[in-house]
Amino acid sequence: MVSMFNPRLTDALSDYPFARLNGLIADVTPPAHLPLINLSVGEPQGALPAFARKILADEVEGWSKYPPNQGIADLNLAIVEWLERRYRLPQGLLDPARHVIPTAGSKEGVYVIATVATPQEKGGVKPVVSIPNPFYQAYLGGAVLSGAEPYFANAHAATGFLPDVEQIDEAIWKRMAIFYLCSPANPQGAMASLAYLQRLIRLCRRHDTVLALDECYAEIYTGQPPTGGLEAAFAMDETGGKDPFRNVVVFHSLSKRSNAAGIRSGFMAGDPRLVAMMLRWKTYGGTQIPFAVQKASAALWREETHPVETRAWYAKNFRVAEQILHNRFGYFTPGGGFFLWLDVGDGEAATRRLWGEAHLKVLPGAYVCRETDGVNTAERYIRVALVHDEKTTREAMTRLATVL
């Protein structure tokens, strides 16, 4: 029978992790006397700063107008100034009109870059898009729906939880349109070093591959701030600042930095050719970001005290988790991000027990990871989002340690 649906959607993208999770625990009854603590979703539970709330409430004029696709000048400027501060880039290196474009969260950006930068063929055959494995699902959505073949670059304990880029065959590199990397990584919190990023940028340029670097957790870290892709590209630049970001784009977000998942505000920055094509895509099919959101976003990127508080919130949670779990489940406090990546032996079984005995909702690691050569390298793990306040986190960690 001829289907009315796009087979790329129906066949390759049918098992979104949260739908699978709900299926896994559907027949398990949680204990009614314990309130649910949802640790499965990476949705920050802290408050959006009051000054941003006020802007969102006050900026009512713009609701009747179409906002510009490329972002209002003041937002793009605020983003450029933030990039300069955060990554110690020289003033004037980034042009707000050419190097950045606001996106509806980083999700839109990481998904759409695949539409923007997947050719029909590469090396005479179907292009490949490399995805770190485990991974954030929008990368796979972008790769599959743009007609590329996904290549899963395993990132497990033995590779320092980042893909081993030297292990990838030359034949794959020749076909590679995009290399996705997430640093700090969701779920493991690994952070790519300057040397790692520069090696990767060289490899990408050699093969004319786009490095799509998801840095949405860049402001959530426990020790040193993670190195950024633009910073790495600038530090190895040999063009005297004329073309420092060739083949490199980074994605950022206010969702985690500012507890602002609901306003859907992020940006893409880097290679101006890719920014221009992203803008073209926006004009054909993207959604502009409402004026009020753009104005609040500009203020949020300019304000530097609330991210310090955000980091302190997560640092407290990690201290609690470390106190309670420190010598179990291969516990480690990640360099960045807000997830625990716990080796519980059997991630699905642990998830069912935590639901049935402790009313805790966590995500089996295997659900954000694909099998390669018949092995799912994440099946021993669960992902635990430490996004609640300290008291709730303590309660959750205590229940977790009691049950497992």
Ligand X SMILES: Cc1ncc(COP(=O)(O)O)c(C=O)c1O
Contacting residues toward ligand X, per CB under 6 A: 42, 105-107, 110, 136, 182, 186, 214, 216, 253, 255, 261, 266
Shorter beta-carbon distance to ligand X: residue 154 or 394 = 154
Per-residue b or e along 159-193, where b marks 16 or more CB atoms closer than 10 Å to that residue's CB:
bebbbebeebeeebbbbbbbbbbbbbbbbbbbbbe
Shortest Cβ 120–ligand X spacing (Å): 27
Radius of gyration of the chain, Cα coordinates, nearest whole angstrom: 21
Report in angstroms how near the CB of residue 383 gets to ligand X at its nearest.
10
- Residue 403: half-sphere exposure toward Cβ, Cα within 13 Å: 22
CA distances to 181, 189, 344 from 380, rounded to whole Å, are 22, 17, 6
State in angstroms the smallest separation of the CB of 185 from ligand X: 8
Closer by beta carbon to ligand X, 19 or else 34 = 19
Comparison of 132 and 347: residue with beta carbon closer to ligand X: 132
10/22 with CB nearer ligand X:
22
CA atoms of 256 and 387, how far apart (whole Å): 10
Nearer to ligand X, 37 or 250 (CB): 250
Instruction: Pick the closest to residue 162 from 108, 200, 127, 217 (CA basis).
Output: 200
In the complex, least distance from residue 105 CB atom to ligand X, rounded to whole angstroms: 2
CB contact set of 270 (below 8 Å; sequence gap of 6+)? 99, 229, 230, 233, 245, 248, 249, 250
Tokens representing 45 are: 């539970």
Q: How far is 267 from 260, CA to CA, in rounded Å? A: 14
| Residue closer to ligand X, measured from CB, 378 or 404 | 378
Of residues 156, 175, 129, the one with CA closest to residue 12: 129
CB of 317 to ligand X, least distance (A): 17
Give the shortest CB-339-to-ligand X separation in angstroms. 9
Min CB(227)–ligand X separation in Å: 17
Comparison of 260 and 358: residue with beta carbon closer to ligand X? 260
Beta-bridged to residue 320, according to DSSP, are none
State residue 336 phi and psi, 5-degree precision.
-150, 170
User: Cβ 241 to ligand X, closest distance in Å?
Assistant: 29
Phi, psi angles (nearest 5°) of residue 326: -45, -40
Please state, in angstroms and rounded to a whole number, the distance separating the CA atoms of residues 225 and 220: 8
Alpha-carbon dihedral sign for residues 299, 300, 305, 309: positive
Q: How far is the CB of 60 from ligand X (least distance, A)?
A: 24
Q: Which is nearer to ligand X, 186 or 377 (CB)?
A: 186
Q: Are 230 and 269 in contact (CB under 8 A)?
A: yes
Nearer to ligand X, 105 or 244 (CB): 105
Taking CB positions, which residue lies at the least distance from ligand X? 105
